[in-house]
Structure 1
Amino acid sequence: MNSPIKIADMARQLRDAEAARQPITRLTEKVPALTVTEAYEIQRLNAEARLAAGEVVHGHKIGLTARVMQIKFNVDEPDYGHLFDTMFVQEGGTLDLSYLIDPQIEVEPAFVLGRPLRGPGVTCDDVIAATDWIVPAFEVIDSRIRNWDIRLQDTVADNGSSARVVLGQARKRPTELPLADLETALILDDQTVETGSTSAILGHPAEGIAWLANALGRHGVGLNAGQVLLPGTATRSHRIAGCKTARAEIEHLGTVTLNFTGEPTVTP
């Protein structure tokens, strides 16, 4: 077990890395005995720091729900992170990549809750019943860990590698969509670079939200009406350094677009 002082120091290292836009060596290399529980404590400390600075929690994200992403980042279970108001970028707007380190982009069907959810015992049907809208979304992930050399504990501590969120203008009720199998496409600079299906998200994206509600419920935390929840990506993420435009298409739902300017710390 690591001391509270060491846990607080690791949290500070991640905050400093984000502020300076300079990645650090993975925490699990520095502290091989770091546990997942301790990693979530690091995440909690940094969430508290953001709240103290005036930021507001607007939702949560689930990461690593698709097997292809677990393989890519050498982990074997999902994780979650907080989404703050400062992370949201207007659809069709421009994201300045110079504020990020080594960003990648994902396509997801975002869930907007109409009523609260609190685990344990939340099911896929409970999620559908509690959701007002499904919206096409981008999640831009970024790692404060050098070269994305992460283990589960590293990405958990790093707030699930969260960075930015873009919500499309299209929206539909969850009962209006075959959520279990929506075809998705990611287009960068007019080239389709990834396609996939929402079935890759734990078999059904609402299962990702149920997993989140139950995971948070174990810590006495609930999901609130109006929150935006990202269930995970159906495809591999893609680096966006050097890109100028991104467009996502989700079958039966709609599109979301984003423009880029500037260059991140890590470039091709």
Structure 2
Amino acid sequence: MLPHDTIQALARELRQARGTRTPLRHFSARHPGMTIEDGYAIQRAWVALELAAGRTIKGRKIGLTSRAMQLSSQITEPDYAPLMDDMFFAAGGDIPIERFIAPRVEVELAFILNRDLKGPGITVCDVLRATDYVVPAIEIIDARIEQFDRESGRPRKVFDTISDFAANAGIVMGGRPVRPDAVDLRWVGAMLHKNGVIEETGLAAGVLGHPATGVAWLADKIAPYDECLKAGDVVLAGSFTRPTPAAAGDSFHVDYGPLGSVAFRFV
């Protein structure tokens, strides 16, 4: 485990990088013995800094839910991070590109809970019973730690990604909310249009076979820290498309079929 002072210092670096839009070199290269637990410790220290500055937590995100992404990251389970209140953007509007360093967008479903979910032993059925509604969502991911090292070109390791809020930077919700038992969530599909061109398509079953599976996993994962998913939380269940790069002027429209659509533009 990294020393406490090192963890605190790295958390401060991340917060400054987000504010100045200046990406950092890989923590895992600077600290070769870094572990997944170190990554989460840095993430928690960064959250504490945000809370001290007046931010609030509105939910959680789950990442690396597809088998392909897990293999590429050399892990066997997803990762997670908080959704802070300043990460939420309205659908149908303009989003300032200067809020991000290297934004990319992913297609997801968001679960809005109406009761607490505290592990261990949470099942998919428990998640569905605790969900008020499910709504289409787009996650904006970013890289406060470089995705690829500026000199070697090596990809960052999962420890870096976890430290970096699991790459989370923004969320846009819209479309038509549905009760979790109103549709077979596995078969919810979406087409992601960038500037009028379909860039990605996918089915929600790509998220661990069922998007509620990740929510159950997360409730169990945070239980040892005496944490739980709370009533009112927004839980992003994981992307079922590959990340799509974005730049100023890009317009995104994601069509979820019967569940409506979500759209916005980077300016």
State the TM bucket, normalised to the shorter chain.
Answer: over 0.9
> Residues 174-197 of structure 1: CA distance to partner in whole angstroms, max 9, x if unpaired?
101111122221111111000111
Please give the per-residue CA displacement for 1:99-132, whole angstroms capped at 9, x wherever unaligned. 2101100111110001111111111010000001
Deviations 1:131-150 (A, max 9, x none): 01110101000011123532
Q: How many residues align?
A: 261
Task: Tell me the secondary structure at the aligned position of residue 136 of structure 2.
Answer: strand
Distance 2:255 2:16 in 1: 36
1:219 counterpart (202, 210, 225): 225
What SS does the corresponding residue of 2:215 show, helix, strand or coil?
helix
> Any unmatched runs of 5+ in structure 1?
262-268
Q: What whole-Å deviation, never above 9, does each CA across 1:18-64 have from its counterpart, x for those lacking one? A: 11101111110110111111111111111011111111110000001
RMSD between aligned residues: 1.4
Q: Using the alignment, how far apart are the partners of 1:230 and 1:36 within structure 2?
A: 21
Q: What is the rounded CA distance, in whole Å, between the counterparts of 1:249 and 1:32 in structure 2?
A: 43
**For residues 20 and 106 of structure 1, what CA distance do their matches in structure 2 show?**
24
| Identical counterparts, % of pairs | 39
Aligned to 1:245: 251
* 1:215 CA drift (Å): 0.8
Amino acid of the residue matched to residue 132 of structure 2? D
Residue number in structure 1 paired with 2:95 = 95
Amino acid at match of 2:67: R
| Aligned residue number for residue 164 of structure 1 | 170
Q: Deviations over 1:148-169 (max 9, x none)?
A: 5321111111111110111104
Equivalent-residue separation in structure 2 for 1:188 and 1:68 (angstroms): 23
What amino acid does structure 1 have at the position aligned with 2:54? G
Structure 1 stretch displaced more, 6-15 or 134-143: 6-15
Q: Which amino acid aligns with 1:152?
A: V
Contact 1:177 1:252 in 2 (8 A): no
1:142 maps to 2:142: yes
Q: Structure 1 residues 169, 198: CA separation in 2 closer, same or farther (over 3 Å shift)?
A: closer
Counterparts of 1:74 and 1:190, CA distance in 2: 35
**Matched residue of 1:226: which SS?**
coil
Secondary structure of the structure 1 residue equivalent to 2:227: coil
List runs of 5+ in structure 2 lacking aligned partners.
149-154
After TM superposition, the structure 1 stretch with the greater mean CA deviation from structure 2, 70-79 or 33-42, is 70-79
SS at match of 1:194: strand
Contact preservation (8 Å) 2:187, 2:205 = yes
Match of 1:232 in 2: 238
Q: Assess, with a 3 A threshold, how the Cα gap between structure 1 residues 188 and 71 changes in structure 2: closer, same or farther.
A: farther
Matches within 5 A, 1:40-51: 40-51=40-51
What is residue 11 of structure 1 aligned with on the other side? 11
| Counterpart-to-counterpart distance in 2, 1:222 and 1:196 | 30
Equivalence map 1:33-112=2 (5 Å): 33-71=33-71, 75-112=75-112
1:125 maps to what in 2? 125
Contact 1:70 1:77 in 2 (8 A): yes
Report the CA distance between 1:242 and its aligned residue. 4.4
3-state SS, counterpart of residue 18 of structure 1: helix
Q: Once the two structures are superposed, what CA deviation does each residue of 1:220-248 show, in whole Å capped at 9, x if it has no partner?
A: 10111111000100110111124421011
Letter in 2 for 1:175: D
